[in-house]
Amino acid sequence: MRLEELVRRLGSRYDVERWWPAESPWEIMVGAILVQRTAWENATMVLDDLRARGLLEVDAIDDLPLERLERLVRPAGFYRQKARSIKAMAAHLRGAHRSDPLGLLSKHPGSARKELLSLPGVGKETADAILLFAGRRPRFIAAAYVSRVLSRTGLFASQDYDEVQRYMEARLEPDPSTYARCYALMVQHARSTCRTRPLCDNCVLMDACAFTGRTGREGCLR
Ligand code: SF4
């Protein structure tokens, strides 16, 4: 099976058109920090609360005392770390880009990524999520879910972020919408079907998957 076929089949199973609904680039940047190591629902709960309080603005977050932000971020877990990261991002945007996320996001993608990676709590996956979803820049997010689907299906076996990213970017049109859709389909598949214990009997890839080919349906974890 080729990557195009995998994407086609996943596209016939999952609807990911509204994968990352957000009202502004800044909201996506905050969401990218909040969603680290937690379920999307928990991050959404915090985003909704910040929005309802009128705090989903760069300057409002920069002005907010750290302790208060920690309390608000708590439902998303790792709240001390996440509150510090969000504050640092707001302070950086205010100081370097007049509080306009597009000031950063419209730079050359390589420079924008480097700048994002210099901020506390922003690793490669978070930086690429911000570039792709907030900046609409073609950077594929090589999340662990993507590596899992690629390696189980037999397309590409690597856990290395850069290698997986290079593999995907070499095979897809360098278009933000294509990257976002493909990423969303693979993450949705890994969360719902190709889980830690995969539900292979319910999978649109089963007849072409190296994992089931290797273990047989009998050996497949269910
Ligand atoms: S057949 Fe099983 S291991 Fe292969 S992609 Fe589907 S759920 Fe994952």
Mean pLDDT of all residues in 35-50: 95
Helix or strand run (H / E) with residue 196: none
- How many whole angstroms from 40 Cα to the centroid of ligand 1? 23
- How many whole angstroms from 211 Cα to the centroid of ligand 1? 6
Structural domains in the chain, CATH included, are 3-16+141-213 (1.10.1670.10), 25-134 (1.10.340.30)
Is the alpha carbon torsion for 53, 54, 60, 63 positive or negative? negative
pLDDT at 215: 54
Instruction: Give per-residue pLDDT as tens, 51-109.
Output: 999 999 999 999 999 999 999 999 999 999 999 999 999 999 999 999 999 999 999 99
Other Cβ atoms closer than 10 A to 147: 21
pLDDT for 49 beyond 50: yes
Sequence-separated (6 or more) residues with CB below 8 Å from residue 71: 79
What's the DSSP call for residue 207?
Answer: G
Ligand 1 atom closest to 193 (CA): 7
Instruction: Give per-residue pLDDT as tens, 110-137.
Output: 999 999 999 999 999 999 999 999 999 9
Three-state DSSP state, 91: helix
Report, in this order, helix, strand and coil percent for the chain, each rounded to 5. Answer: 65, 0, 35
Averaged confidence pLDDT in the chain? 93
